[in-house]
Amino acid sequence: MNNTQFFLDNLPLFIPLIILELALLITAVRHVLKHPNYRFGNKAFWLVIVIVFQIIGPVIYFVIGRGESE
């Protein structure tokens, strides 16, 4: 079985993961850009973490990086 066939056979599994990843990415980027307070780091640091580390980056941001809301 080649890679293309594997991808096509498992496409119903990949679509929800892709949608989840994009939703997390968009939500986290919007939050980083709107809010000035972070527990540590700065806006540029968190944008790199969120964008480079796909699903894990946004989760890390919301769990440990997000600061207090004003």
Give the domain ranges of the chain.
Answer: 3-65
Say what the pTM is: 0.78
User: Which CA distances in Å does 5 have to 1, 11, 19, 70?
Assistant: 6, 10, 21, 50
At 15, which amino acid appears?
I
* 30 confidence band (pLDDT: 50, 70, 90): very high
Which amino acid, residue 2? N
Percent of the chain with pLDDT over 70: 94
pLDDT at position 69 over 80: no
